[in-house]
Amino acid sequence: MSRVVDLFVYGTLKRGLANHRAFCAEAVRIQPATIIGRLYHLPVGYPAVQIPPSQVLLEASPDPARDAGRQHRPPKPASPEAPEAHWGAIHGEWIRLPDPARTLPPVDTLEGVRPDGRGEYRRALVSARTEGGPRALWVYWMPQLPSGARYLPEGTWPPNA
């Protein structure tokens, strides 16, 4: 069982933003990272990501501790370097949290991830580009965008950052 879990965060969990202190204060690593997808600003004031199916290495299971171990043995990652048509780079942070059995469930709850897959967000393992090269990171993504979602082609949230 892994003692850490690696997340790609692109919204309120990033350093200095609303949910970072409450959910990521124990982070043992934070550094820039990029994934392939589409970033949106939602009318409710937070962001959502959509990712191409080809970038999904694994879907989350109901067991966060198991998922932390699975992230270190993913299938061969797709290249995070070459965006597919109509997809672009999303800029965020790689956050490494200790003790996945304790630290990941609160983040899943914040993001509305449900074991039956019907929550607002889902969690998937994707390939990310980091300063140290490609790495498999968990990302929270939204399968169905609400009306009024605004595409952010620059791939950075908040929109005026």
Q: What is the pTM of this model?
A: 0.92
Domain presence at residue 160:
no
Region 56-85: mean pLDDT is 76
Q: Which domain holds residue 49?
A: 4-151
CA distances from 156 to 12, 34, 46, 48, 112 (A): 12, 10, 12, 11, 22
Question: Structurally, how many domains does the chain consist of?
Answer: 1
Domain presence at residue 104:
yes
Domain presence at residue 161:
no
Banded pLDDT at 45 (limits 50, 70, 90):
very high
| CATH (domain of 50) | 3.10.490.10
Share above pLDDT 70 across residues of the chain, in percent, rounded to a whole number: 91
DSSP string covering 63-90, please? -HHHHHHHTTSPSPPPPSSSPPTT-EEE
Region 38-55: mean pLDDT is 95
Domain presence at residue 97:
yes
Domain presence at residue 17:
yes
CA distance 72 to 100: 13
Task: Provide the b/e sequence for 86-117 (b: ≥16 CB within 10 Å).
Answer: ebbbbbbbbbbbeebeebbeebbeebebeeee
pLDDT at 62: 86
CA distance 49 to 40: 6
Region 92-109: mean pLDDT is 95
Region 102-130: mean pLDDT is 91
Domain presence at residue 157:
no
